[in-house]
Every structure is written in structure tokens, then in C-alpha cells.
Chains A and B, each alone.
Chain A
Amino acid sequence: DTGVSQDPRHKITKRGQNVTFRCDPISEHNRLYWYRQTLGQGPEFLTYFQNEAQLEKSRLLSDRFSAERPKGSFSTLEIQRTEQGDSAMYLCASSLNSYLDTEAFFGQGTRLTVV
């Protein structure tokens, strides 16, 4: 286990198409987070899971976005009917939910370009 991995690393899609990204967290981590990051901005929180339960979803998140973590391990983020404004880096992170250890480990991200 070499850390959080995301697939694909890059995705180019036409406007209106659906895309799905995958995140594999560190195996013993029970929390998983999704973020969107655009140039010059900090990571914008999208949603997070505790095991398989989606505990919070950003109010900024359009209904076109959906995330799952069906078995409490890997997670997918789907964007339906993509728009040019969806172009961004999508980051995944995972952590233990422990008082002594709440460090979030990040993947390298999936860069989405909508043309």
C-alpha cells in the first residue's frame, strides 16, 4: 500500500458527457474526502465518507455530482452532463478517525478538462 491512489490521472471529455473517477484510500483508513481544486485556489470541499456512509455533502455541490463508497473501501465520484466549469483537479484524501491520528493523506488527483 503506497498511499492514496486516484484513477485516471487525466481525463479530457466533451461537454455533456458523464465522467467517473476512482479513489483508492489507504487500506485501514475509514474516512475519505473529495475536493475540487482550480488554479490559484485551495481545495474546495465536496463530500466525505465515514466508512460507507456519506456524512456531508457541500451545499455548493451540484446535483450532477454524486459520490459513492459502497464497501467502505474505494470511492467513485461521478459528474453527469459535464460543463466547462467542471474543469479542475479533483483530489481525494483519506484518514483515520482517531483522536491521536487525523492526518489526511492526499492522492495525486485527477485533472479533468471539459472541452
Chain B
Amino acid sequence: QVQLVESGGGVVQPGKSLRLSCAASAFTFANYAMHWVRQAPGKGLEWVSLISFDGNEKYYADSVKGRFTISRDNSTNTLFLQMSSLRREDTGLYFCVSSSFGLDVWGLGTTVTVSS
């Protein structure tokens, strides 16, 4: 079945970098826009970033603009989120999401903890 599996999370010090990956399977990845959505511990959902199906258009939340970079490799069905200059408030569960009609397929998420 359609599946998104995130990886790359971990514990990192403030100011450092981390790269998240999302492996897609059982659907034509190259046809769909992709998103990252995050959730701080005990908090609500926050949209982080969007990339078009072909990678030509990228959008970011103001809270991550200039620090995070979204990208994709349609040859390997993988979505990425390069996170730099990490802050404590970036701590949370990061979901990879595909969108056809709405944000309709979600991964289980990977946890990022920014702490010294």
C-alpha cells in the first residue's frame, strides 16, 4: 500500500544541522507535491514546507525560511528536509505528507530534539 517512511531524526545541539529523509513507495512519487508538517510535543500541527511535483517550486513557513531547505529526488522516490541553524523550538515530530486531493497520505514521523 501507499507508504511514506521518515528517517534522520535525532538529538542535535542548537545551531547544528540535520537532514531528514522520506522514502515513498507504492505510488508514482514524481506526480505529487510533497509537504513537511511538524508537531511540537503536546502541541498542534504546524505546516513547514511544500515542494512541487517536479521540485521547481518550494515554499516555507516563516519560522523556518532561510534555515530549512526542502528537496526531492524523483529517481529514488525520496523527499528531504535539510535543517540548519536549529533552535530549541524546532523540536518535534516531523511528518512527511503527500498531496493529491488534500494532504492525504502521512508518514509516521521522525523525531527531532534540539537540546544542549
Asked if chains A and B come from one complex, the reply is no
A-side residues, CB < 8 A to B, are none
B-side residues, CB < 8 A to A, are none
